[in-house]
Structure 1
Amino acid sequence: MRVLVADDERLLADTVAEGLRRFSMAVDVCYDGDGALERVGVNRYDVAVLDRDMPGHTGDEVCRSITDSGAGTRVLLLTAAAGIRDRVEGLGLGADDYLTKPFAFAELVARVQALGRRSAPALPPVLARHGVVLDVARHVATRDGHPLNLSPKEFAVLHVLMRAGGRVVSAEELLEQAWDEFADPFTNAVRVTVMTLRKKLGQPAVIHTVPKAGYRIGGPE
């Protein structure tokens, strides 16, 4: 899952981003509305976490831009205003959820995960294919009932492949969805991560390489 975090409170934004990365999310960070608009214009995000009161373009304006674009990005608005009128106003802009500051980080994670599952087509909280079970909310992966000790990046790659439902996923798509904006497009990180993931999944092989196309988990059903 790829997430944008935009908040002019730099410490808060960086802390939230780092925390979400521990749950295998690829997170880009910016500190004002102008940067947020620039990023949503060039990147495809599953979820955008936006502070309503950013300088420059406000979170409200960024939210409206995302909604008008039809990109399908889910929006979680953050604000210090806790009144019902403020929440209604925020949701009226097209936001999918609303969270007031201060908030519990566990709740933020749960809300971001829930919004990610509401992508089109909607996905269940637990994905299962070919003996592999991925519980995204609990951040747990198993194969044939045995736990898998995956790194955050391995978990993220497996999540992308499981979401694809047997469709071939290119290395470029994996890089876009499982790494943040600072990833080197010429790196061999995808190949190396897939290789280590294969070893941890064991035999028989679950992830298959499709020459000159990418990777798929199992086969088309």
Structure 2
Amino acid sequence: MNRIFRLACIAAIVLLTTVACENVFTTSPYAGLRRDLSTMSLAQRQNFAREALASGNIEDAKSAFDALIESADGSTDAELNLLLVELGIQASGVPGVIPDLLALATSGDFSDEDALTGVLEGFLDQIDPYYANGAYEQLKQAKDNGGTVTEEQYLFVGVGFILGTVKDAEAESIDDLDPDDLDEIKDFLEDAIADLGTENGILSSMLEYVNGL
């Protein structure tokens, strides 16, 4: 329960930060550069990306992700991968679903398959699968490059990967996913739980949920 409460607090801070900082680019030194990121150095693009994360602006996060993704191709820089993970999470719209998942967990209804399906599928229209799956790929690359993935990153990316896979497959429901897609989701959740080394109630419940599909 303490772990769930901590995640709830983190989600609340993320949401409050988004509201408080939504106009950051009106005063940001990068405001005039955001329209042509191709002229910026890698360091400038990374700074722009951090500004985008601080602002909570989804469109800026998308622009920053697009501007950095080619630099990560073949790179061994885990920090760049993890920056792209954060951008992909924000750009995908995944943070919007987390508060409802946490509310479901704290109410004790997380093991209710119908309730969990309802929460996840209720956000399908808000999810951009390109960035959700991009965050997933960058998380894997970050691990390969020796990066440390946080519990929150695993949770956000896991939710995004499930919803992004459903949208990419043009499935009407999570229940309609191809077995190969479900296996990849299961592998991700199992690896996340093993990598964290501690029990995560939400990730474990999500794995149990996917195993039951």
Same fold at TM > 0.5? no
Structure with higher Rg: it is 1
What TM-score, normalized to structure 2?
A: 0.28
Q: Which has the higher strand share?
A: 1
What TM-score, normalized to structure 1?
A: 0.27
